[in-house]
Structure 1
Amino acid sequence: MSTNFGFPQFYNSWFDHLRHLVKQLTSLPRPPYTATDSHDLCVLIDKFMSHYNDLHCAKCLAAERDPLYVLVAPWATTFERSLHWIAGWRPTTAFHIVYTESSILFESRVIDILRGLRTGDLGDLSPSQFRRVSELQCETVKEENAITEELSEWQDSATELVGPGFDINEKIGLLVGIIKKADDLRLRTLRSVVGVLTPQQAVEFLIAAAELQFGIRGWGVNHDRPGSR
């Protein structure tokens, strides 16, 4: 299997465009003051989700060509890889971002909220939104655990490598399926969380998620730079 399929170049270009999308999101008024503002927010949210879908599709193709290459994620920094769950971010991270941002914003505007003034941001999640986010988190944890168990079983079967009649192509095919399941869960989790939120809240969530990626990658690049250690 060849590893020369240009995925690192694709990822670098994808990551640069993510920065561009974040700049577009941060430039829009929040809360939206007009119908045009609301429309622009929804258009950019769709672009954001389409951008993540592009990564999902490209990574699935890369996994089909060489799942071992994708699993070790050489396009990522060592710090990023230390945080990886099956070649990418852990899906349940999305819920931690929602809870963290909600808590920070709630504390900063608690007086207004207690007075009944609606802020409309992540600090102003409704009880039904909190309930749905919690339900999604539980569902995602179960799926994460199931996929983790699949990978564990795949790794435990390494003893078969020295056994008679071992089919390496079959084993590699199983790994491809595991990586695809992990990436599918990542994308579905993003879509599910965004679907629970209002456009304003979704924008805040997507910006926070992207800024976390930027921070982790930035720290990792500095750490990996020659002479930094």
Structure 2
Amino acid sequence: MNFGQFYEIWLQQLQALQELASVPKPPSSPDHDPYLTHLVHRFISHYEDYYRVKSHSARTGRGGVFSIFAAPWLSSLERSLHWVAGWRPTTIFHLLYTETSARFEARLLDFLHGLRTGDLSDLSPSQLSLVSDLQCTTVTQENLITDQLSLWQESACHLVSDDQDDPEIQRLIKVLNNADDLRLSMMKKVVEILTPQQAVEFLIASAELQFGIRGWGLDKDRDRHNSLSLQQS
């Protein structure tokens, strides 16, 4: 199985997990938290599987690390949004702030009446402070990895083969692994800041964003292909 085939199966499993987690639940309580915590662990484990297989494919798969960067299994839109062969880690903070703001506005009257929801609209000041600090750290680490990739690109003129043992190939694989490690670790750290209920809502929103971009991108590629076919006929 190549990585593209694995990715399709992985997406199907993510969708099934998203649908399971999206089933309406009662407000979070001590008795309910274990179930929500279990869902969070399943989401995180699923992302860990993705990055583990991705790293293995970059080292040993057909096309190696160049195939991972080219990502032919993705739409043009998805590839255009990539940073080091994947989503930019700071995206999770933009998503979190967007979800928090939208939910807060929708429940503003409840808050004015002193009602607490315990969901993503109800982040505490200490949670917001931790998220802000983590975002600053992530930006710094992103910049370091961007510099690593730039240095690799400057030396790429010396690349004479696609041999996986070539030192330049190994350097690029290391940059990719650093980027993926940052993506995964930042997701885990954000989830650790949130309550189980908030974490499940955040992970559902993350999956929805991924599926939304993918669906839109595939539709655009299909429209472009049909348009070219009509012009050539």
Q: Same fold (TM over 0.5)?
A: yes
Partner of 1:191: 188
TM-score (norm 2): 0.90
Q: Is 2:218 the counterpart of 1:221?
A: yes
* Aligned-residue offset at 1:71: 1.2
Q: Is 2:174 the counterpart of 1:174?
A: no
* Aligned-residue offset at 1:228: 5.2
Q: Which runs of 5+ in 1 are unaligned?
A: none
1:31-180 counterparts in 2 under 5 A?
31-32=27-28, 35=31, 37-65=32-60, 66-161=64-159, 169-180=166-177
Instruction: Count how many residue pairs are aligned between Structure 1 and Structure 2.
Output: 220
Contact 2:100–2:120 (CA under 8 A) maintained in structure 1? yes
* Aligned-residue offset at 1:33: 5.5
Contact 2:89–2:183 (CA under 8 A) maintained in structure 1? yes
**d(CA) in 2 for partners of 1:19, 1:138:** 31
**d(CA) in 1 for partners of 2:183, 2:147:** 17
Q: Which runs of 5+ in 2 are unaligned?
A: 229-233
**d(CA) in 2 for partners of 1:156, 1:79:** 26
* Aligned-residue offset at 1:27: 0.9
SS state of the match for residue 166, structure 2? helix
Partner of 1:23: 19
* Aligned-residue offset at 1:189: 0.8
Partner of 2:231: none
**d(CA) in 2 for partners of 1:228, 1:61:** 38
Contact 1:63–1:180 (CA under 8 A) maintained in structure 2? no
TM-score (norm 1): 0.91
SS state of the match for residue 20, structure 2? helix
SS state of the match for residue 27, structure 2? coil
Deviations 1:92-129 (A, max 9, x none): 11001110011011111112213321110111100000
Contact 1:103–1:123 (CA under 8 A) maintained in structure 2? yes
* Aligned-residue offset at 1:159: 3.5
Percentage of matched positions with identical amino acids: 51
